[in-house]
Every structure is written in structure tokens, then in C-alpha cells.
Structure 1
Amino acid sequence: MFLPKENRRLYFDLLGPEGAAQTVCLAHSLTADSSMWAEQVPELLASGYRVLRVDMRGHGASETVFGDYTMDELADDAAHVITALDIGPVDFVGLSIGGMLGQSLALRYPDLIRSALFADTLPASVPAAESVWIERKRTVQDAQSLAPLAESTMARWLTAEFREKRPGRWRQIFESILVTDVAGFLGCVHAVRSFDFTGRLGELKPPALVVCGANDQGTPASENRRMSEMIPGGKYVEIADCQHFPNVERPDEFNRILIDWLNRS
């Protein structure tokens, strides 16, 4: 389904019965789309939750905005959908950039968020990664495609063992990278390179859980644990033997952690 916002359209899907007690909003990673939550949706529905998935601008079926983005602007898109559907407060779950924009959402729209689960994310831009982002940006601009980054991105997201065991699912996620809009990617890269919530996480009102794959290279477990310590009452859980997408690689464990968290929030 599409929702208009400022002469463009945001794509979302809202699953589950209207009478469900609570809605869970899922926010995806950079160069992914809402399909990255396929392993979570059935479990959430079976547990009695409604599920809202929103594609970020320039990702999936959401239309692109040209230019640089900020985390606040990405959070505003999510808030727009939640408000328009009148389903707040939601339990928010965001991974990678989804967790980054989720921090802005929870800080700026506390009435829309009942609880937050931030997975494999960061509380601020990493200056040491600046040269990496510059190179990725140049590569994508030269190719006018995400194809040159797809294999290396997948290697950071999922282990070689997962690719061997579930080649079909691996390919589905790989394809979501290929179809990501170049301008959408570049806009989000600017957001990733220019945010810092470290001085504000102490103001976070909703209860928050931080989850991370133990072998995540891009958003390391140590940084996720440190982030949880910045949040009042923040909790941290680490999932062994997986990288950046524990929700895909270790869905049973991730889902158990998620449902337990939702039921206790």
C-alpha cells in the first residue's frame, strides 16, 4: 500500500487483524527492504501482534527523494505512516540504519513508541569509516548501480555457511540490493555519515533492548553493548555465530528474544 507524503509515495504493508492489541513496526537495513523481515512476520502474527513494515525512501517500493537525507527526515517518514494509520504507540524494531532512524523516532516522537528494539546498529557516525563510505559512494555513482557493492555487502550481512544452506533466501536478499535506487542509497549514506545520538540517549523514554550478532563487522557487538549502556534501563543481548542479519541467519533465536521482549514491555 502507498501513502502520499510531500509529492511522493511511501510504501508500507500492515498485516494482522485490526483488533490486535499492539502493532510492531519493522525498519530495514540500508540497501535492503521490508522483505528482510520475512522470518519475523509469521511469528509476530502468530503471537497476536499486527505488523507494520515501511520501505525507506529510495528503497523497495518507496519513491526516492533526491539529495542528502538526515536521520530525522527518515524518522519523520516512519512517524508519518504511524500517525496516518492511527496505530501508535507501536513497538519499534529497527536494524542497522533502521535502528539509527529509530533512535531519532524514539527521541522526537516518544508518544508514538511503546518500546524499542535496536539491532546491529550504532549511536553515532564512525569517523574511521568515512573513507569507506566515500569509496562506496564513488563506486555506486560511477556504475549508477548498487551491483558493484552487492557481493561484499552480502558477505558482511550473512555467513558463507548461510549462503550454502539457503541459497534461495540468500538470492532474494541479494536482489533487494540490486534494485535499490542509487539516489536513495546516496541520500541514506549521507544520513549514516552525519548523525550522533550519544549525547541524547540518556533522554530516551521508551524501554529499549539492543541486540547484535556476535560477529558483526560493520556495527560491532562492542559498540552495540556500549550503546545499550547509554540508554536508561537499556538491555543488551548478543546472538552467537552470525553477522549483521541475525534476524535472517538465526531467526529462531532472534524471534524468541523479540517475542519475549514484546511480551514484557
Structure 2
Amino acid sequence: MLLNLDGRKIYFDLAGPQNAPAVCFTHSLAADGGMWTEQLVPLLAAGYRVLRLDMRGHGGSQPVEGDYTMDELAADVKGALDVLGIWKVHYIGLSIGGMIGQGFALAYPERLHSLTLCDTHPSSPDDSAGQWDQRKAAVRANGVKALADGNMERWFTTEFKDANPTRWKEIHSTICGTSDAGFLGCAAAIQNFDYLDRLPTIKIPTLVICGDDDPATPPDRNRLIASKIPGARYEDIAKARHLPNVERPEPFNRLMMSFLGLNR
């Protein structure tokens, strides 16, 4: 479904009873709300309302030309919730979705029941600027599809690809379908944000989850986030890379459902 946000189209998927507690998902760069498919069944079975949002230029959402900021992307989430009439949510974000979640918690704490941050960073990594410049150059030259194979190697173990070829192909296709403008705008946001020193001001119940073999947003960076947010808890997922919710849904879902239940 589509909603109109400041004159542009944002794609969303909303399922579950209207008056149920809402869980809002945001996805990783070059993905879309479909990366949370493995979480839908347990959430709906437990009586939650589930909202999956596509970032600008991703999935079914309209791109915006130029560089984005993390605060602008957090404001997109707030704007979507306003249009949909959802006042308060349990927020779950992975990778850039987790970066957006930190910005959302800092700017709009009154809109949150809880915060789950997965495989993410608290600030732009000091040594990553050149790497991101190379990726952006590749996209400008050949489109996002040029990064698809490399992304999949960082996102999943070889064992996952061999055991789940259909799901692997679905996610690979989603990367290839991401708009160049959406990728470039979000990549610029990743290159230029820093929430680290402000994390201690977050008072929302927070869970931080990371795949123990994640090369993109490694466990030490996620542990750092958990150490900065008062009362936050860190958990890792064994034998998983950047998308543990897809690669290892059973342990991920156990952690997610337990944490949501504690804060329902």
C-alpha cells in the first residue's frame, strides 16, 4: 500500500488488529520490508499489529534525489506514523534501519514503547569513507545491481545460500531492484552521522542484537551501543552474518518476542 508523505509515495505493509500494540520495522540499505517476512508469523500470532516501511528509494517507495541525512530518514518514519494514525510503536531496525531507530529514539522518544537495534552502527565508522565512496561510484557507473553479489556475501554465510536458495534469490533480486537515487542518498546518510555521545540520553527499553559473524556492522560496534544506552541488553546470534533475522530466524524471533513481551 502507498501513503503520501510530503508529496511523495511511501510504501508500507500493515497487518494485524487495529487496536493491537504496533511493531514498526525498518530495513537495511538496498533491501525493503520483505526482509522481515520471517518475523510476521510469530508477531501476528501473538496479537501484534505489524508495520513494515520501505525507505525512500527502496522497495515501493519513491526516491528523492540528492544526499539524505539520518535525521531526515527518522522524520520519514514519524511522518508515516502520523499519516497512519499510529501514535506509539515498538521499533525494530537493522543496519541503516537501526541507525534510523537511534535517531528516532533521540528525536521522538514519546512515540516509543521499546527499541530493538540490530546489526548497526552508532556513528559513521572512521575508516569507511573511502569504501563508501567506491560503492557510490560503482552505483553511479553500473547501478545498484553491481553491488548485489558483494552484499550477499556480507549478509549471509555460504551455508545459508546452499540451504535456502529461493530466499537467497529473493533478497538478491531486491538489492538489484533498489533505485540508484535511494541507495546513494542513504549511503550519504551512513557516511555522515554520529549518535554515539547522545545514546546515554535514551531512556527507552532497548535490546541490541547482532550476528556473531557480521563483517559489515561487527558485534563490537553493537556492544558499544548497548553499553551507552542505560539498561540496554546485548545478544548475539550464532552462525549469522548481517541479516540474522533471515538467516537464523528461530533464535532471533525468540529474543524479539521475549523482549516485546516484557515491554508490552
TM bracket (short chain): over 0.9
Among 226, 231, 236, the residue aligned to 1:233: 231
- Tell me the secondary structure at the aligned position of residue 127 of structure 2: helix
Aligned to 1:84: 83
Match of 2:215 in 1: 217
Find the partner of 2:254 among 256, 259, 264: 256
Q: Separation in 2 of the partners of 1:210 and 1:72?
A: 20
Contact 2:71 2:100 in 1 (8 A): yes
Q: Matched residues, percent identical?
A: 48
Q: Deviations over 1:169-188 (max 9, x none)?
A: 00000000000000110000
Residue 17 (str. 1) matches residue 22 (str. 2) = no
Cα offset, 1:198, TM superposition:
0.6
The residue number in structure 2 matching 1:46 is 45
Residue identity matched to 2:14: L
**Which position in structure 1 is the counterpart of 2:169?**
171
Aligned partner of residue 200 in structure 1, secondary structure: helix
Instruction: Please name the residue that 2:121 is paired with.
Output: 122
- Residue of structure 2 equivalent to 1:192: 190
The gaps in structure 2 that reach 5 residues or longer are none
Alignment of 1:58-137 (within 5 A): 58-137=57-136
Q: TM-score, normalised by structure 1?
A: 0.98
What secondary structure sits across from 1:128 in the alignment? coil
Partner of 2:35: 36
Does the Cα contact within 8 Å between 1:107 and 1:205 map onto a contact in 2?
Answer: no
Structure 1 position 88, deviation (Å): 2.2
Which residue is 2:145 aligned to? 147
Q: Counterpart of 2:197 in 1: which secondary structure?
A: coil
Structure 1 residue 36 displacement after superposition: 0.2
Instruction: Output the TM-score relative to the length of structure 2.
Output: 0.98
Whether contact under 8 Å (2:5, 2:80) holds in the other structure is no
Q: How much has 1:81 moved relative to structure 2?
A: 1.1
Decide which moves more: 78-87 or 49-58.
78-87
C-alpha displacement of 1:19: 3.1
Q: 5+ residue gaps in structure 1?
A: none
For 2:41 and 2:145, locate their aligned partners in 1 and report how far apart those are by CA, in whole Å. Answer: 30
Offset at 1:147? 1.4
Aligned structure 1 segments of 4 or more residues deviating by more than 2 angstroms: none
Provide the aligned length of Structure 1 versus Structure 2: 263
Is the Cα contact below 8 Å between 2:211 and 2:219 reproduced in 1? yes
Alignment correspondent of 1:202? 200
